[in-house]
Chains A and B, each alone.
Chain A
């Protein structure tokens, strides 16, 4: 812990360091130089004149948005003596669990290489490169034999790891008399209760206008929708990231959503960004990776089978293959409890100058990974724009759903929050399901790992993701999961097996997200 004074200067130093390496810094520098050429600039008021120029020309707003973006992503300032691994994850046993999990994944991948006699990575021959380039926009029509490839892991494998997570300093043995937790997650992390959640999600309250509720056909648009759209247009005109984030807590109009999300994520497509995407594409053409087959397999198993998303198959291949080659993604491992896998150039085993990360972005896809991209295809039609948005969504949110950490938005905390909410507010249901061997988390876990992508109808999913961006938090996923159980409680009380419980909850595509959240959080008697 540090006091607030040092915290602030530390935050400033770290943000400056980060932004200094960004494209924006180069642009600001260029603008400042051009400003110096103007005849009205005086040496004695140089600093003030440049500031004024930045304000008038709109560059100050861009800088503010970039700083705000960093503040949303940046971990809390750490003590100067804390080692880098502490910044990734402060609790030692969590780090060890994540390390063990990573080792299992690596062994699984190495086994696949050995069994199939396939290298992790190789340079494509020139003919093969030309062939891939020709069919870049129709990779979905290609039907390679993927039967030998299997997903490295599925959410249910990951759940078993979380269930066995234990704090060695935690007295969870005989004494059931103190703070009993009957759920599958047995770690004593702090999670919010409903009064705290109400305070956090106050904009979802019964007396606040809400897209997803107040834009239905039964409600006259004059009551809320028209004014909300007008405010949204004003927010976009202002180009203010912080205002946009506050605004979409009440939902984003469909027509404005793509721009609002880009503004919140501080994504603006410059020529440099398009070039960067083309470079990634070139890297896909030139190098063949084993993870490419895993990506093909996953898209085939998930999005291509989904009624909403099969039309976007080609986009998914393009975005995910480029993502695997993007070394800028490695930056998020500074605050991700996970670490990128490592390998050596063939014939150079053990030589550090020939050590590389694999895949280049350090992220190994698992079963369902492509569903993180699929909903974004409805919003963004240029591949490079779609790519930028997905990459930023991943390094802000999605990585937390498949790594072991004590972060409040991490999957462990979400599981614990879900179980705690259910146990506290639906104790009879929780007990009944536990008795028949249908622990609620075994059903809801896959929803949360995929942020409900592929489970909700797309319009409902995007309303949910509005709130993830609006609150810069994934906690709403756990609340929604609990709300779904509450909604189906009557049927669930009658089931007698895990299979029957799963059947009751098999189809979420007709659910309305915002009424469920509102009822669960604000209509509950506490």
Chain B
């Protein structure tokens, strides 16, 4: 399934905190990140990809255009998605994550804006966020990838030729041969990754010092 990167603008993070920020001793446990799409909204979202940095749970709200006559509305499409199984230890803390539209609680049509709500309940971490955020929409289907129907399913409109005694069914044989051909092409296209075991260069392995780069 192909995808196309959607240009987006990631706004500054807003910390949700009770009381006066300047005097509070605690660190915020909830951050809000708004993502807008100045030149392309509305669009149909396919995938959200990012690198985690110590965010434990993620919720996402989406603002969608419903119709020409009604104001856009906010809908929760992801609720408390777990990024760190244990918020107090580092598993998943710096993982790459992809979220697809089939994982969302609502459809992802006509997206105008996204709001990412990041939560980290553990006081052990000095900061948390998401990095390298990328939004994708579905790309066009490539016609060259699709086999024409007549090629993969040969159908004869003529009167079937009389089957010779003892010969296999010709349509089944041709189907098997096509599969064999496809497999052969697939194998030919991929290259083996085997090393040949040499460590020298043209028989020479005279070395003075190690390199630091």
Contacts and interface: CB of A to CB of B under 8 A. Distances in A.
Interface of A: 1-3, 17-18, 20-22, 42-44, 46, 78-79, 81-82, 86, 90-92, 103, 106-107, 109-110, 113-114, 119-123, 167-172, 175, 178-179, 187-190, 276, 279, 283, 287, 325-328, 330-331, 341-346, 353-358, 360, 406
Given A171-B125, A327-B197, 19 more contacts: A1-B95, A43-B173, A44-B168, A79-B96, A81-B132, A90-B93, A103-B212, A110-B209, A123-B206, A169-B53, A170-B126, A178-B123, A179-B88, A325-B199, A341-B210, A343-B210, A346-B206, A354-B201, A356-B205
29 contacts: A1-B95, A1-B96, A3-B100, A18-B193, A44-B172, A44-B173, A46-B180, A79-B95, A82-B95, A86-B96, A91-B94, A103-B212, A106-B212, A121-B206, A123-B204, A168-B126, A169-B54, A170-B126, A175-B123, A179-B88, A190-B85, A190-B89, A190-B90, A328-B195, A341-B210, A345-B201, A345-B205, A354-B201, A356-B199
B86 interface: yes
Nearest to A357: B199
Nearest to B102: A3
Interface string B17-38: 0000000000000000000000
A190 B85 CA distance: 10
Contact of B97 (A1, A354, A406): A1
A90 B54 CA distance: 12
Contacts of B96: 1, 78-79, 81-82, 86
B8 to A, nearest CB: 16
A91 B123 CA distance: 19
Nearest to B197: A327
Contact of B125 (A2, A169, A331): A169
A113 B212 contact: no
B124 interface: yes
B88 A120 contact: no
Nearest to A351: B201
A342 B190 contact: no
Contacts of A406: 90
Candidate in A1, A113, A121 with the most chain B CB atoms within 10 angstroms: A1
A79 B124 contact: no
A441 B69 CA distance: 70
Interface in B80-113: 83, 85-86, 88-98, 100, 103
Contacts of B98: 1-2, 79, 81
B210 A346 contact: no
A2 B49 CA distance: 11
A42 B173 CA distance: 10
Contacts of B200: 287, 356
A100 to B, nearest CB: 12
B103 A91 contact: no
B192 interface: yes
A463 B175 CA distance: 55
A356 B126 CA distance: 41
Contacts of B190: 17, 20
Interface of B: 49, 53-54, 83, 85-86, 88-98, 100, 103, 123-127, 132, 168-169, 172-173, 176, 180, 190, 192-195, 197-201, 204-213
Contacts of A17: 190, 193
In this complex, the member of A20, A78, A276, A331 whose beta carbon has the largest number of chain B beta carbons within 10 angstroms is: A20
B206 A119 contact: yes
Residue among B91, B103, B200, B207 facing the most chain A CB atoms (10 A cut-off): B207
B198 A327 contact: yes
A171 B128 CA distance: 12
Contacts of A188: 88-90, 124
A38 to B, nearest CB: 17
A120 B208 contact: yes
Contacts of B124: 170-172, 178-179, 188
Contacts of A46: 176, 180
Please name the 9 residue pairs, one residue from A and one from B, whose CB atoms are nearest each other, closest first: A360-B199, A79-B96, A21-B194, A190-B89, A120-B207, A121-B207, A82-B96, A346-B206, A21-B192
A79 B90 CA distance: 17
A499 B192 CA distance: 56
B95 A190 contact: no
A406 B176 CA distance: 49
A92 B94 contact: yes
Contacts of A325: 199
A252 B210 CA distance: 43
Given A90-B95, A325-B199, A356-B201, A110 B210 contact: yes
B173 A287 contact: no
A362 B142 CA distance: 44
A345 B200 CA distance: 9
B90 A287 contact: no
B95 A358 contact: no
Contact of A119 (B100, B103, B207): B207
A287 B200 CA distance: 10
B169 A345 contact: no
Nearest to B125: A169
B89 A343 contact: no
A362 to B, nearest CB: 10
